[in-house]
Amino acid sequence: MIMNMAAQQHILQAVNWSKYSFEEWCRQLGAWLNGDTETMVKIVKTMPTKRITQQQREKLMAMYMGDESFKDRLCSRRKGTCCQLNDNEARAIQKLIIDLQSIDDEVLQEWIGAIWWHYVMGESIRDIAKSNNTYGSQIQQDIKCGLAFIKSRYPHFQFDKFIKTVVVENQFS
């Protein structure tokens, strides 16, 4: 039985990573999570988060309980992506993201957080910037930096953000 376990491929090795770009893998993960709210809640609960004090926690709870217009991020609707992942593929990309979120670096976590909210949760750059009290250009830069870090760590992924397009202009002479 031990031999069978050793012979099995690791979940990360069994996935065809060339199937999608990294951004699309994240969108697919979001669609997979959105398809099963129980899975979504379990995953979000296990994600490492910034530690907050009891006073901050109480303030957040008071804001949440008192504001009827407060939008619960877990309940936000996904837009436009139809899930095409099987459970193993979803768990593999989830594992990669959790590994990234477990790195103890505050700046990196801001970058990964921006990627999570934009690509996985489907939030617009504008909404992320508004919730973080910053500019959209800052969120875009955070996403680019985060994707560059991920590209250096996992070079087998293709990244849509870094594909250069050449614009050919008609030249009449």
Record the pTM: 0.67
What angle separates helix 136-153 from helix 22-35, to the nearest 10 degrees?
100
Residues in the chain: 173
Amino acid of residue 120: V
Quote the tokens at residue 103: 């790195």
Tell me which residue has tokens 């959105």. 34
pLDDT of residue 49: 56
- Over residues 73-120, the pLDDT tens digits come to 444 444 567 888 888 899 999 999 999 999 999 999 999 999 999 999
Q: Are 108 and 148 in contact (CB under 8 A)?
A: no
pLDDT of residue 14: 84
pLDDT of residue 52: 62
| Positions of the chain with pLDDT lower than 50, given as ranges | 1, 3-7, 37-38, 71-78
Q: Could you give the count of Cα atoms lying within 13 Å of 42 in the half-sphere of its Cβ?
A: 7
pLDDT of residue 69: 53
The burial class, CB within 10 Å (0-12 / 13-18 / 19+), for 146 is buried
